[in-house]
């Protein structure tokens, strides 16, 4: 067994484990104090769309992520600040939500979540243990040193871990290291603010968050460490990774651990530097190339509300909410949610390009997952029961994309000598011709929903097939070509 040391040469021996390559579908869960107000402005699109079309001046006040409530509340004149004043009054602090959350979450059932996620076809989850509000979703032995009692007494993470493992679902844990506004008073209103007003940068806080990671690893043995936004100066994340890999050899870490020296955090606060940083960030986003800075070591990348235009050799994970917020936003309507056909196509497209899809759910304050989210998960699970053979445990093919002569988009995966062909728009019975798909004359082709063998003929470099009458109507249909 490899013994990892806290340096890049050693850590880069670590490989993405087979279970993650094969899993294809994960569920992220944002549930916390922000689930009580459950509010963010709507009508501006996704966070990426706001950055691209409205700029950063609109991005932070109109943040569509309800889990960013604490920051939006601090921005003068923001929709969240207006909502909070009208509903709760000026004397009600964000931190006052803690007592209410402890009451409302008392009857939460981890088993109900486990049954739903298994029905959806998920093979792993990532649970938010601490978001930018600093509230701890487990009974830590290292409490918040500014706000007494600012954590749950119930072992939510432990109960969730037990429920997931009983259903053969891997546990991943999210923790916000750099952003912690339980120790700050200023809002983040621009990109430099992510590194200057987001959280403390002193040694005490850095050791505090490092100790939390160690506690989470020791107590719950997660399979994924999912950092976000960045990592504060003062402790070495490579030491954390080595500790984690040595304890959980088939664990892995994502790509959001960029750490900047203390001098950088101080420089970005300079009033002369900030406009340049904002200009540069805006220009990058406008070109569609926005991405968090990559750290020296990570196992996989995590594009947010985005996908890949091409197949990647490096493992990646598309992550997004069911609507424009990760946590529950009571203002979102059906029009804001992704449709089931679009969700299935996103999963297929992602898997064909060497990605996993991590779909987020945002439970309400009492832990109930909204019906519209439940229906999406169940719908995806029903599709996976029919076509999961072409998703789970597969690898990429020589190319990810193709099309028919009629212009229908096609995707590909492969497994154990079988090539899977996804018809991305759903087809009726009758002939289709897939371009540039040469197969052997003695191969066999079946349609997965009916199991029927399909007559085919080769037309030069193309493949002509006669789709069967018994084929299920579906947003995406799948053909399996054995011995291709």
CATH of the domain at 353: 3.20.20.80
CB 317 within 8 A of CB 254: yes
Q: What is the pLDDT of residues 359-415, one digit of tens each?
A: 999 999 999 999 999 999 999 999 999 999 999 999 999 999 999 999 999 999 999
pLDDT at 290 over 60: no
**Is residue 153 a part of any domain in this protein?**
yes
pLDDT at 283 over 80: no
The confidence score (pLDDT) of residue 432 equals 95
- When divided into structural domains, the chain yields a total of 2
In whole angstroms, give the CA distance from residue 339 to residue 118.
Answer: 20
Closest C-alpha to 245, from 12, 406, 44: 12
Closest C-alpha to 320, from 376, 388, 237, 259: 376
User: Do 193 and 314 have their domain in common?
Assistant: yes
Last residue of a domain, one of 390, 413, 443: 390
- The band of 286, judged by pLDDT with boundaries at 50, 70 and 90, is low
**Is residue 253 a part of any domain in this protein?**
yes
User: Do 340 and 263 have their domain in common?
Assistant: yes
User: Do 12 and 117 have their domain in common?
Assistant: yes
- The band of 291, judged by pLDDT with boundaries at 50, 70 and 90, is low
Q: What is the pLDDT of residues 15-74, one digit of tens each?
A: 999 999 999 999 999 999 999 999 999 999 888 888 888 877 888 999 999 999 999 999
pLDDT above 70 as % of the chain:
98
With a CB cutoff of 8 Å and minimum separation 6, the contacts of 57 are none
Q: Which tokens is 405 given?
A: 């002569």
Find residue 404's DSSP bridge partners.
434
User: Do 278 and 139 have their domain in common?
Assistant: yes
Round the average pLDDT of the chain to a whole number and report it: 94
Unique residue bearing structure tokens 């945002």: 362
Per-residue burial over 351-369, b = 16 or more CB atoms within 10 Å of its CB, e = otherwise:
bbbbbbbbbbbbbbbebbb
Mean pLDDT of 338-363: 98
In whole angstroms, give the CA distance from residue 266 to residue 195.
Answer: 9
Q: What is the pLDDT of residues 236-254, one digit of tens each?
A: 999 999 999 999 999 999 9
CB 347 within 8 A of CB 380: yes
The confidence score (pLDDT) of residue 280 equals 78
Q: 437 burial class (0-12, 13-18, 19+ CB within 10 angstroms)?
A: buried
Last residue of a domain, one of 341, 361, 390: 390
pLDDT at 167 over 80: yes
User: Do 348 and 469 have their domain in common?
Assistant: no
**Is residue 215 a part of any domain in this protein?**
yes
Least confident of 135-149, 269-283, 345-359: 269-283
The confidence score (pLDDT) of residue 471 equals 87
Phi-psi domain of 103 (left: phi exceeds 0; alpha: psi -120 through 50; beta: other): alpha
SS3 of 247-266: the string is: HCCCCEECCCCCECCHHHHH
Backbone angles phi, psi at 354, to 5 degrees: 75, 25
The confidence score (pLDDT) of residue 355 equals 98
User: Do 361 and 477 have their domain in common?
Assistant: no
Domain of residue 474 covers 401-482
User: Do 413 and 385 have their domain in common?
Assistant: no
- The band of 225, judged by pLDDT with boundaries at 50, 70 and 90, is very high
Phi-psi domain of 455 (left: phi exceeds 0; alpha: psi -120 through 50; beta: other): beta
**Is residue 2 a part of any domain in this protein?**
no
User: Do 411 and 385 have their domain in common?
Assistant: no
**Is residue 1 a part of any domain in this protein?**
no
DSSP H/E element including 74: helix 69-74
Q: Which tokens is 390 given?
A: 């072409």
CB 120 within 8 A of CB 378: yes
Q: What is the pLDDT of residues 431-444, one digit of tens each?
A: 999 999 999 999 99
**Is residue 3 a part of any domain in this protein?**
no
| pLDDT: which is higher, 281 or 170 | 170
Q: 259 burial class (0-12, 13-18, 19+ CB within 10 angstroms)?
A: buried
- Which 3 state secondary structure label does DSSP give 295? coil
Q: Which tokens is 388 given?
A: 């999961």
User: Do 350 and 424 have their domain in common?
Assistant: no
Least confident of 168-172, 263-267, 360-364: 263-267
**Is residue 396 a part of any domain in this protein?**
no
In whole angstroms, give the CA distance from residue 480 to residue 114.
Answer: 31
User: Do 384 and 408 have their domain in common?
Assistant: no
User: Do 217 and 257 have their domain in common?
Assistant: yes
User: Do 386 and 457 have their domain in common?
Assistant: no
Q: Which tokens is 128 given?
A: 């938010």
Axis crossing angle, helix 371-387 with helix 340-352, rounded to the nearest 10: 50
Last residue of a domain, one of 390, 410, 431: 390
Closest C-alpha to 324, from 374, 358, 360, 351: 360
Q: What CATH number is associated with residue 466?
A: 2.60.40.1180
Q: What is the pLDDT of residues 318-329, one digit of tens each?
A: 999 999 999 999
**Is residue 395 a part of any domain in this protein?**
no
What is the length of the chain?
484
Least confident of 149-153, 260-264, 341-345, 364-368: 260-264
- The band of 263, judged by pLDDT with boundaries at 50, 70 and 90, is confident
Q: Which tokens is 429 given?
A: 């019975």
């Amino acid at each position: 067994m490899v013994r990892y040391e806290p340096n890049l040469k050693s850590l880069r021996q670590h490989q993405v484990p087979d279970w993650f390559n094969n899993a294809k579908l994960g569920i992220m869960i944002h549930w916390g104090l922000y689930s009580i107000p459950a509010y963010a402005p709507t009508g501006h699109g996704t966070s990426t769309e706001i950055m691209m079309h409205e700029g950063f001046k609109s991005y932070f006040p109109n943040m569509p992520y309800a889990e960013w409530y604490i920051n939006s509340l601090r921005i003068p004149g923001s929709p969240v600040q207006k909502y909070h004043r009208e509903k709760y009054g000026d004397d009600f602090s964000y931190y006052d939500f803690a007592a209410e959350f402890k009451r409302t979450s008392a009857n939460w059932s981890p088993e109900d979540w486990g049954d739903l996620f298994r029905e959806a076809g998920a093979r792993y989850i990532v649970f938010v243990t601490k978001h930018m509000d600093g509230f701890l979703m487990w009974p830590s032995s290292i409490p918040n040193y500014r706000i007494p009692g600012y954590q749950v007494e119930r072992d939510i993470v432990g109960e969730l871990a037990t429920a997931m493992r009983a259903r053969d679902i891997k546990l991943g844990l999210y923790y916000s290291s750099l952003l912690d506004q339980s120790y700050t008073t200023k809002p983040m209103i621009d990109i430099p603010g992510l590194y200057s007003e987001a959280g403390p940068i002193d040694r005490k806080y850095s050791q505090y968050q490092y100790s939390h990671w160690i506690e989470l690893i020791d107590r719950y043995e997660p399979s994924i460490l999912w950092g976000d936004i960045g990592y504060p100066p003062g402790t070495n994340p490579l030491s954390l990774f080595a500790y984690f890999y040595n304890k959980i050899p088939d664990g892995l870490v994502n790509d959001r651990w960029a750490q900047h020296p203390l001098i950088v955090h101080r420089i970005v606060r300079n009033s002369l530097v900030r406009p340049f940083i904002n200009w540069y960030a805006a220009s990058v986003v406008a070109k569609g190339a926005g991405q968090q800075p990559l750290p020296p070591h990570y196992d996989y990348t995590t594009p947010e509300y985005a996908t890949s235009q091409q197949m990647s050799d490096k493992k990646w994970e598309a992550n997004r909410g069911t609507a424009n917020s990760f946590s529950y936003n009571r203002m979102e309507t059906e029009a804001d949610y992704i449709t089931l056909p679009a969700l299935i196509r996103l999963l297929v497209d992602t898997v064909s390009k060497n990605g996993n899809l991590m779909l987020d759910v945002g439970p309400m304050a009492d832990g109930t997952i909204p019906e519209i989210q439940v229906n999406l998960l169940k719908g995806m699970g029903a599709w996976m029961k029919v076509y999961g053979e072409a998703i789970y445990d597969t690898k990429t093919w020589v190319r990810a994309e193709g099309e028919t002569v009629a212009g229908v988009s096609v995707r590909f995966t492969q497994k154990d000598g079988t090539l899977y062909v996804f018809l991305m728009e759903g087809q009726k019975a009758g002939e289709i011709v897939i371009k540039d798909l040469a197969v052997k004359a003695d191969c066999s082709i079946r349609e997965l929903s009916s199991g029927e063998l399909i007559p085919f003929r080769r037309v030069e470099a193309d493949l002509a097939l006669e789709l069967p009458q018994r084929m299920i109507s579906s947003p995406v249909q799948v053909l399996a070509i054995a011995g291709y």
